[in-house]
Chains A and B, each alone.
Chain A
Protein backbone atom coordinates (compact mmCIF):
# COMPACT_ATOMS: atom_id res chain seq x y z
CA UNK A 1 0.00 0.00 0.00
CA UNK A 2 1.10 3.52 -0.68
CA UNK A 3 2.13 5.61 2.29
CA UNK A 4 2.59 9.34 2.50
CA UNK A 5 4.67 10.93 5.23
CA UNK A 6 4.71 14.53 6.35
CA UNK A 7 7.35 14.88 9.01
CA UNK A 8 6.51 18.44 10.05
CA UNK A 9 3.33 18.57 12.15
CA UNK A 10 3.64 22.35 12.48
CA UNK A 11 5.46 25.10 10.65
CA UNK A 12 5.41 28.86 10.93
CA UNK A 13 6.49 31.61 8.57
CA UNK A 14 6.66 35.36 8.68
CA UNK A 15 4.31 37.15 6.36
CA UNK A 16 5.99 37.79 2.96
CA UNK A 17 8.63 35.15 3.62
CA UNK A 18 9.05 31.73 2.00
CA UNK A 19 8.33 28.39 3.60
CA UNK A 20 8.80 24.82 2.42
CA UNK A 21 6.63 21.94 3.55
CA UNK A 22 8.05 18.43 3.21
CA UNK A 23 6.42 15.26 1.96
CA UNK A 24 7.79 11.84 1.15
CA UNK A 25 5.93 8.85 -0.15
CA UNK A 26 6.45 5.19 -0.74
CA UNK A 27 5.23 3.39 -3.83
CA UNK A 28 6.27 0.68 -6.25
CA UNK A 29 4.35 2.31 -9.10
CA UNK A 30 6.02 4.36 -11.80
CA UNK A 31 3.05 6.46 -12.81
CA UNK A 32 1.03 8.40 -10.31
CA UNK A 33 -0.13 11.85 -9.28
CA UNK A 34 0.82 13.91 -6.29
CA UNK A 35 -1.19 16.70 -4.77
CA UNK A 36 -1.05 19.35 -2.10
CA UNK A 37 -4.37 20.18 -0.50
CA UNK A 38 -5.05 23.12 1.79
CA UNK A 39 -7.59 22.83 4.58
CA UNK A 40 -8.42 26.25 6.09
CA UNK A 41 -10.17 26.47 9.45
CA UNK A 42 -13.54 26.17 7.64
CA UNK A 43 -12.44 22.53 6.99
CA UNK A 44 -13.12 22.33 3.24
CA UNK A 45 -10.05 20.95 1.48
CA UNK A 46 -8.96 22.82 -1.60
CA UNK A 47 -6.46 21.64 -4.20
CA UNK A 48 -3.36 23.83 -4.23
CA UNK A 49 -1.21 22.13 -6.80
CA UNK A 50 -0.71 18.79 -8.53
CA UNK A 51 2.18 17.00 -10.16
CA UNK A 52 2.12 14.16 -12.66
CA UNK A 53 4.94 11.72 -11.97
CA UNK A 54 5.82 11.37 -15.66
CA UNK A 55 6.58 15.09 -15.88
CA UNK A 56 10.08 16.13 -14.92
CA UNK A 57 9.19 19.79 -14.73
CA UNK A 58 8.10 20.95 -11.31
CA UNK A 59 4.55 22.29 -11.13
CA UNK A 60 3.97 25.94 -10.31
CA UNK A 61 0.79 27.82 -9.46
CA UNK A 62 1.42 31.48 -8.74
CA UNK A 63 3.14 31.65 -5.33
CA UNK A 64 3.05 27.87 -4.91
CA UNK A 65 5.63 25.56 -6.41
CA UNK A 66 6.81 22.03 -5.80
CA UNK A 67 10.15 20.31 -5.75
CA UNK A 68 9.44 16.84 -7.11
CA UNK A 69 12.29 14.37 -6.74
CA UNK A 70 11.00 11.09 -8.17
CA UNK A 71 14.02 8.97 -7.34
CA UNK A 72 13.99 10.19 -3.75
CA UNK A 73 10.18 9.95 -3.60
CA UNK A 74 10.03 13.46 -2.28
CA UNK A 75 7.43 16.13 -3.04
CA UNK A 76 7.85 19.38 -1.14
CA UNK A 77 5.69 22.48 -1.40
CA UNK A 78 7.22 25.95 -1.44
CA UNK A 79 5.05 28.92 -0.62
CA UNK A 80 6.59 32.24 -1.60
CA UNK A 81 5.55 35.67 -0.32
CA UNK A 82 3.43 34.05 2.40
CA UNK A 83 0.13 35.70 3.15
CA UNK A 84 -2.13 35.53 6.21
CA UNK A 85 -4.66 33.62 4.14
CA UNK A 86 -2.13 30.83 3.63
CA UNK A 87 -2.57 29.76 7.26
CA UNK A 88 -4.13 26.29 7.15
CA UNK A 89 -3.47 22.59 7.37
CA UNK A 90 -1.64 21.34 4.30
CA UNK A 91 -2.00 17.75 3.20
CA UNK A 92 0.18 15.93 0.74
CA UNK A 93 -1.68 13.23 -1.19
CA UNK A 94 -0.88 10.44 -3.62
CA UNK A 95 -3.05 8.88 -6.29
CA UNK A 96 -2.29 5.99 -8.56
CA UNK A 97 -2.51 6.69 -12.28
CA UNK A 98 -4.00 3.26 -12.88
CA UNK A 99 -6.77 1.39 -11.14
CA UNK A 100 -8.05 2.89 -7.92
CA UNK A 101 -8.33 6.64 -8.00
CA UNK A 102 -8.71 7.29 -4.30
CA UNK A 103 -6.27 9.56 -2.53
CA UNK A 104 -3.75 8.55 0.11
CA UNK A 105 -3.05 11.41 2.48
CA UNK A 106 -0.24 12.35 4.81
CA UNK A 107 -0.92 13.45 8.37
CA UNK A 108 -0.75 17.12 7.47
CA UNK A 109 1.32 20.16 8.39
CA UNK A 110 -0.29 23.05 10.22
CA UNK A 111 1.08 26.30 8.82
CA UNK A 112 0.93 29.46 10.88
CA UNK A 113 1.62 32.80 9.22
CA UNK A 114 2.98 35.43 11.58
CA UNK A 115 2.04 39.03 10.73
Chain B
Protein backbone atom coordinates (compact mmCIF):
# COMPACT_ATOMS: atom_id res chain seq x y z
CA UNK B 1 0.00 0.00 0.00
CA UNK B 2 1.38 3.44 -0.87
CA UNK B 3 2.50 5.55 2.05
CA UNK B 4 3.90 8.95 2.89
CA UNK B 5 7.56 8.88 3.86
CA UNK B 6 9.58 11.45 5.77
CA UNK B 7 13.28 12.00 6.29
CA UNK B 8 15.09 12.25 8.56
CA UNK B 9 13.30 10.52 11.40
CA UNK B 10 15.19 12.65 13.92
CA UNK B 11 17.03 15.91 13.37
CA UNK B 12 19.06 17.71 15.99
CA UNK B 13 20.12 21.26 15.24
CA UNK B 14 21.45 24.29 17.02
CA UNK B 15 19.36 27.37 17.55
CA UNK B 16 19.66 29.75 14.60
CA UNK B 17 20.49 27.04 12.09
CA UNK B 18 18.41 26.28 9.02
CA UNK B 19 16.75 22.89 8.69
CA UNK B 20 14.95 21.21 5.83
CA UNK B 21 12.49 18.45 6.54
CA UNK B 22 11.66 16.20 3.63
CA UNK B 23 8.53 14.36 2.68
CA UNK B 24 7.56 12.14 -0.21
CA UNK B 25 3.77 12.21 -0.53
CA UNK B 26 1.75 9.49 -2.19
CA UNK B 27 2.45 9.76 -5.88
CA UNK B 28 -0.98 10.60 -7.30
CA UNK B 29 -1.99 12.95 -4.49
CA UNK B 30 -2.58 16.63 -5.14
CA UNK B 31 -2.75 18.30 -1.75
CA UNK B 32 0.09 18.36 0.73
CA UNK B 33 0.24 19.46 4.33
CA UNK B 34 2.59 20.04 7.19
CA UNK B 35 1.50 19.69 10.79
CA UNK B 36 3.50 19.84 13.97
CA UNK B 37 3.06 18.39 17.44
CA UNK B 38 4.94 19.90 20.33
CA UNK B 39 5.52 17.25 23.00
CA UNK B 40 2.39 16.75 25.05
CA UNK B 41 0.31 19.12 22.95
CA UNK B 42 -2.15 18.74 20.12
CA UNK B 43 -1.27 18.30 16.48
CA UNK B 44 -1.40 21.73 14.83
CA UNK B 45 -1.82 22.65 11.20
CA UNK B 46 1.00 24.64 9.63
CA UNK B 47 0.41 24.87 5.90
CA UNK B 48 -1.31 23.30 2.93
CA UNK B 49 0.03 23.26 -0.61
CA UNK B 50 -1.72 22.72 -3.91
CA UNK B 51 -0.78 23.34 -7.51
CA UNK B 52 2.69 24.53 -6.53
CA UNK B 53 1.54 27.19 -4.14
CA UNK B 54 0.43 27.62 -0.57
CA UNK B 55 -3.35 27.32 -0.29
CA UNK B 56 -3.72 27.85 3.45
CA UNK B 57 -1.41 28.61 6.33
CA UNK B 58 -1.81 29.04 10.06
CA UNK B 59 -0.51 31.85 12.21
CA UNK B 60 2.30 29.55 13.27
CA UNK B 61 3.62 29.52 9.71
CA UNK B 62 5.49 32.81 9.79
CA UNK B 63 8.32 34.14 7.64
CA UNK B 64 10.74 31.65 9.19
CA UNK B 65 8.94 28.83 7.44
CA UNK B 66 8.74 27.99 3.78
CA UNK B 67 7.58 25.03 1.71
CA UNK B 68 8.60 23.81 -1.66
CA UNK B 69 7.96 21.02 -4.07
CA UNK B 70 11.31 21.05 -5.84
CA UNK B 71 10.54 18.11 -8.10
CA UNK B 72 7.65 15.78 -8.84
CA UNK B 73 8.05 13.75 -5.68
CA UNK B 74 9.48 15.69 -2.74
CA UNK B 75 7.71 18.20 -0.53
CA UNK B 76 9.93 20.11 1.86
CA UNK B 77 9.52 22.30 4.92
CA UNK B 78 12.32 24.74 5.61
CA UNK B 79 12.82 26.55 8.87
CA UNK B 80 15.22 29.39 8.22
CA UNK B 81 16.53 30.16 11.69
CA UNK B 82 15.39 27.62 14.24
CA UNK B 83 14.28 28.57 17.74
CA UNK B 84 14.06 26.38 20.82
CA UNK B 85 10.27 26.44 20.54
CA UNK B 86 10.45 24.86 17.09
CA UNK B 87 11.32 21.56 18.77
CA UNK B 88 8.44 19.24 17.86
CA UNK B 89 7.34 16.33 15.72
CA UNK B 90 6.62 17.48 12.20
CA UNK B 91 4.15 15.46 10.19
CA UNK B 92 3.64 15.59 6.47
CA UNK B 93 0.31 14.52 5.00
CA UNK B 94 -1.17 14.22 1.55
CA UNK B 95 -4.58 13.69 0.06
CA UNK B 96 -6.06 13.11 -3.34
CA UNK B 97 -8.73 15.78 -3.23
CA UNK B 98 -10.72 18.32 -1.25
CA UNK B 99 -13.72 16.20 -0.43
CA UNK B 100 -13.75 13.86 2.49
CA UNK B 101 -10.64 12.29 1.15
CA UNK B 102 -8.48 10.80 3.84
CA UNK B 103 -5.30 12.63 4.70
CA UNK B 104 -2.46 10.13 4.79
CA UNK B 105 0.20 10.96 7.32
CA UNK B 106 3.88 10.24 7.32
CA UNK B 107 5.69 8.86 10.38
CA UNK B 108 7.01 12.29 11.33
CA UNK B 109 10.36 13.95 11.87
CA UNK B 110 11.37 14.72 15.42
CA UNK B 111 13.15 18.07 15.40
CA UNK B 112 15.22 18.93 18.44
CA UNK B 113 16.63 22.45 18.66
CA UNK B 114 19.39 22.91 21.23
**Interface-side segment among A22-30, A43-51, A65-73:** A43-51
Q: Does A64 contact B (CB under 8 A)?
A: no
Q: Does A103 contact B (CB under 8 A)?
A: yes
Q: Number of contact residues on B: which range applies?
A: 20 to 34
Q: Does B75 contact A (CB under 8 A)?
A: no
Chain A: residues with Cβ within 8 Å of the partner, total of 22
The residues of B with any CB-CB pair to A shorter than 8 Å are: 3, 31, 33, 35, 41-45, 48, 55-56, 58, 89, 91, 95, 98, 100, 102-103, 105-108
Q: Is the CB of A104 within 8 A of B106?
A: no
Of the candidates A52, A102, A108, which one forms a contact with B56 in the assembled complex, judged by CB atoms under 8 Å apart? A102
Q: Is the CB of A47 within 8 A of B42?
A: no
Number of residue pairs A-B, CB distance < 8 angstroms: 50
Interchain CA distance A52-B100 in the complex, whole Å: 8
Q: Is the CB of A91 within 8 A of B43?
A: yes
User: Could you list 30 A-B pairs, sorted by A, with CB under 8 Å?
Assistant: A4-B42, A33-B100, A37-B105, A43-B107, A43-B108, A44-B3, A44-B106, A44-B108, A45-B43, A46-B105, A47-B102, A47-B103, A50-B100, A50-B102, A52-B100, A91-B43, A95-B100, A100-B48, A100-B55, A101-B31, A101-B56, A102-B45, A102-B48, A103-B35, A103-B43, A104-B45, A105-B43, A107-B41, A107-B42, A108-B42
Closest chain B residue, CB of each to CB of A47 = B102
Q: Does A42 contact B (CB under 8 A)?
A: yes
The residues of A with any CB-CB pair to B shorter than 8 Å are: 4, 33, 37, 42-47, 50, 52, 91, 95, 100-108
Interchain CA distance A3-B105 in the complex, whole Å: 21
Q: Is the CB of B105 within 8 A of A45?
A: yes
A50-B102, A101-B98 known; A106-B42 Cβ under 8 A: yes
Q: Is the CB of A44 within 8 A of B44?
A: no
The 4 closest A-B pairs by CB, nearest first: A102-B45, A45-B105, A105-B43, A44-B107
